[in-house]
Structure 1
Amino acid sequence: MLAGLFFFKNSHLFYNIRSRCSTGWQMHALSRRAAMLIRLQTEITGLQEMKTLYAADEDFTSFWEQCIFGKSSSDYSLRHGFLFKANCLCIPKSSWCQFLIKESHCGSLAAHVGRDRTLTQLQARFYWPHLNRDVSQFVERCPVCQTYKGTSQNTGLCMPLPTPESIWEDLSLDFILGLPRTRTGADSIMVVVDRFSKMDHFFPCKKTFDAVHIAKHLFKEKVSLHGVPRSLTSDRDVKFISHFWRELWKRLHTELNLSSAYHPQTDGQIEVVNRTLGNMLRCFVQDHPKKWEEMLSQDEFAFNSMPNRSTGHCPFNIVYTKMPNHLVDVAVLPKCRSTAVAHAAKQFKNIVDRVHAQLTESNLKYKQQADSHRRFKKFYPGDLVMLRVRREHFPTGTYTKHNPR
């Protein structure tokens, strides 16, 4: 008994034939030159029936009739009784479409490649009008890909944090770790950002500091200058979820806003500050990485004197209502009374209101840009969903990289 699968290449028709002999099933490869096979009985199924589907298929009927009657039809042609578009075999609506997609995506010689690679392989050999759509739907619904691959999705719309009302009332707090140890023993930086003015303070510290040391450091460097904040946004570091930390800010009537686990985008602003600070420090220290602590004050001044994209003003200007004196300010203006300056000083609330409106507008713009690449997904009770279980939830030694995601 013989069964065959056809392959089309350069308008020549080939097929691999499996023959059943006394020794069992064996594979025989046919070449274009010659083939020596002992044939007891030949039965070809599958592709031959496709010829009868062209005449009734809504996508290829007109092109099939034109080719049958010898009329020119753009890229379509008949070869060995099959309809081709250029060098691609036309597949009418049938179970062959899903079969070909399955073989290209998760067949015995496939490796569950992504949508684009599966589509590329099929487009080089076959054609039907909704090939792109069918491949996308098949790959999205592949249970193996959903179980064993990653979780990168564009579901969920952007939800910015509420816009602050005034300066140094709503803060963000984070740490930069893994720095070379300095002479004073510092190996990390505590970053404090005012979410309204975007002013930053950078404090050298040690990663071994507990919540008590961090609280003392924060009161010494920040609270003594700007007062007690109304809200404090941070990640779920062990320092920020301790009982002491929670009880301290509870007594000071400060709201603690902890970011979602494994979701640093919750407070993306301070992540951007950390990245910018890292770039600035590398430029300052260059071949002397252990001198980063000496350069930290220069980085802080440079950062706070630069205009911010969201507010349109530099943090110095918002907090102190004037630009800081810089080395490039070589000309000293006479201290004469300026009506415009006096009016601006009296109207500081207007500056704050304008910055608040600018922040609200910026947040709305960023949300629109982010949502243009994302989609809203709503779940209902009873829906079946895939839940990613991270390795921290598995017993030690039982999780490997080949486990289902």
Structure 2
Amino acid sequence: MHRDVVKFVTKCDICLTYKLPTHNVLGEMGRPKQCCRPFQIISIDFIGPLPVSRKQNSYILVVTCCFSKYCLAFPVRRATADIVIKHLEDSVFLTHGIPQTVYMDNGSQFICEKTIALFNKYNIPNVFLTPKYTPQVNLVERYNKTIVTCISTFVKEDQRSWDVYLPKILFAINNSVNEVTGYTPSFLVYGRELVICGSHYVDNDLGDEIVFLPRDAYAENIGYLSKIFNKVQASLWHHHQQNSKRYNLRRRFTEFNEGDIVFKRTYYLSDKHKYFNKKLAPKFIKCRITKKRSPLVYELEDMHGKYLGPWHIKDFKLSKWHIFWFCCGFFYL
């Protein structure tokens, strides 16, 4: 009798819809990104809407390099596909080269036909959509927090001046030694440290004659970059292993298949005019998995067949508990 009651309660749709889960968050950290050079893998996202600046900007388009940690940010007026295409093509693809992989969320400006056509135009083989806030997958999410924090320390009460400080913030980020790589992002991208003060030239007087570096010596110096890139690649792998151990301590490994029933977390917004409060709304909705993109990302549809898009496993709750008896107790798998 006790076992039957437990089975019935743990499969109750109403309880699974309204009650918060007691088990650990599902999904361990994924595999590290395989990259060996700057701008081979990039991630893009928008910050905003922010207060309209005096230049009429409301959003920031952020692009980060997953290898060098180099960050680009463009203040824009609207978060549209045309804006994304213009800055990606002019300031990223035709400046730093064509990437092999692009990570972005499933915003309408990223998944529309115009943006996909841009990726096809340059034959970019891998384009991945990361659902909602997933900093463990999309590097740019972490840089978004850093940029917003830096902006807030500068603007204080005058929040309309946020785009004035953005270039200085980016310069500071790109010329600070990264804890993971051990180098500044600017050095890994340009092969040299950027001069941050004009006094550098005063202390290093060239004299009357300019001494040119021989081509062989210059080529030898450039050749050291490949060794540095190998060192950075090993450092990225090492730090990923360390982060995985800490991240997985409070995570639960679970994997689903197509056709499985899961409960997905809802993200409602309260609306006073519609007499709706998210605290009283369902915390989860019952869904069916239609496609398995990876062990961490799944495409869902509701029980009426409506497509819900890709979702990360961290937003899932187990819909069915397997129970077995051991001695006088039982354990949840």
TM-score (norm 2): 0.68
Per-residue deviation, residues 123-174 of structure 1 (Å, max 9, x unmatched): xxxxxxxxxxxxxx99x95956533123574222110442212111211111
Deviation digits for residues 89-128 of structure 1, max 9, x if unmatched?
xxxxxx9xx9xxx9xxxxxxxxxxxxxxxxxxxxxxxxxx
Output the CA distance in 2 between the equivalents of 1:372 and 1:185: 45
Residue from 341, 348, 353 that aligns with 2:230: 353
User: Which amino acid is 2:54 matched to?
Assistant: R
Q: Distance in 2 between matches of 1:151 and 1:329?
A: 59
Q: Deviations over 1:43-85 (max 9, x none)?
A: xxxxxxxxxxxxxxxxxxxxxxxxxxxxxxxxxxxxxxxxxxx
| Bigger CA radius of gyration | 1
For 1:373, the aligned partner's letter is R
Shift of 1:221: 2.0
* Counterpart pick for 2:69 among 198, 201, 205: 198
CA distance in 2 between counterparts of 1:382 and 1:295 reads 50
Q: 1:300 aligns with which of 152, 155, 170?
A: 170
- Give yes or no for contact 1:163–1:359 (8 Å, CA) kept in 2: no
- CA-CA distance at 1:329 after TM superposition: 5.9
In the TM superposition, residue 354 of structure 1 has moved relative to its aligned partner by 1.0
Contact 1:154–1:375 at 8 Å: present in 2 too? yes
Q: Which residue of 2 aligns with 1:185?
A: 56
User: Residue 309 of structure 1 is aligned with which of 147, 154, 179?
Assistant: 179
Q: Which stretches in structure 1 are left out of the alignment for 5+ residues?
A: 1-94, 103-136
2 CA distance for matches of 1:185 and 1:256? 34
Please list, as runs of the form range in 1=range in 2, the aligned pairs for 1:3-402 lying within 5 A after superposition: 141=10, 143=12, 145-151=15-21, 153-207=24-78, 209-265=79-135, 267-327=137-197, 332-333=203-204, 343-379=220-256, 386-388=262-264, 390=266, 401=278, 402=280
State how far apart, in whole Å, the 1-side matches of 2:28 and 2:68 are: 26
Name the structure 2 match of 1:57.
none
Q: How many pairs align?
A: 265
- Cα displacement (A) at 1:242: 0.5
In the superposition, relative to structure 1, how do residues 222 and 381 fare at CA in structure 2: closer, same or farther (>3 Å)? Answer: closer
Distance change in 2, residues 1:389/1:353 (3 Å): closer
Name the Cα RMSD after superposition. 3.6
Q: CA deviation at 1:269?
A: 2.0
CA distance in 2, matches of 1:248, 1:305: 30
How far apart in 2 are the matches of 1:183 and 1:279? 20
Q: Assess if the C-alpha contact under 8 Å between 1:391 and 1:399 holds in 2.
A: no
Structure 2 CA distance, aligned partners of 1:351 and 1:267?
A: 25
Aligned amino acid, residue 185 of structure 2: P
Q: Deviations over 1:4-34 (max 9, x none)?
A: xxxxxxxxxxxxxxxxxxxxxxxxxxxxxxx
AA aligned to 2:64 is V
Q: Does the 8 A contact of 2:106 with 2:132 survive in 1?
A: no
- List runs of 5+ in structure 2 lacking aligned partners: 269-273, 285-333
Once the 2 structures are TM-superposed, how far is the Cα of residue 341 of structure 1 from its aligned partner?
8.8
325-334 vs 274-283, greater mean Cα deviation: 325-334
Task: Find the counterpart in structure 2 of residue 6 from structure 1.
Answer: none
Check the 8 A contact 1:260/1:266 in 2, yes or no: no
Instruction: Say which SS state the counterpart of residue 102 (structure 2) adopts.
Output: strand
User: What letter matches 2:41 in structure 1?
Assistant: D
- Given residue 254 of structure 2, which amino acid in structure 1 is its aligned partner? K
| CA–CA distance in structure 2, aligned partners of residues 232 and 219 of structure 1 | 13
Using a 3 Å threshold, how does the CA distance of structure 1 residues 181 and 262 change in structure 2: closer, same or farther? Answer: closer
Mapped contact 2:39–2:65 kept (Cα < 8 A): yes
TM-score scaled by structure 1? 0.57
User: In structure 2, do the counterparts of structure 1 residues 145 and 195 end up closer, same or farther at CA, with 3 Å as the change threshold?
Assistant: same
Q: 1:403 to 1:275 in 2, by over 3 A?
A: closer
* Structure 1 position 388, deviation (Å): 2.7
Deviation at 1:377, TM superposition (A): 2.5
Q: 1:294 to 1:379 in 2, by over 3 A?
A: closer
Indicate the SS of the match to 1:292.
helix
CA deviation profile, 1:200-259 (whole Å, cap 9, x unmatched): 11111122x431232112222222321222221100010111111112211211135333
CA displacement, residues 249-287 of structure 1 (integer Å, 9 cap, x when unaligned): 112111353334335235342111011101111122223
Higher relative contact order (CA 8 A, sep 6+): 2
Report % sequence identity: 23
Partner of 2:297: none
Q: Is the 8 A contact 2:133 2:141 kept in 1?
A: no
| Higher relative strand content | 2
Whether contact under 8 Å (1:199, 1:304) holds in the other structure is yes
CA–CA distance in 2 between the matches of 1:382 and 1:221?
A: 43
Aligned amino acid, residue 155 of structure 2: V
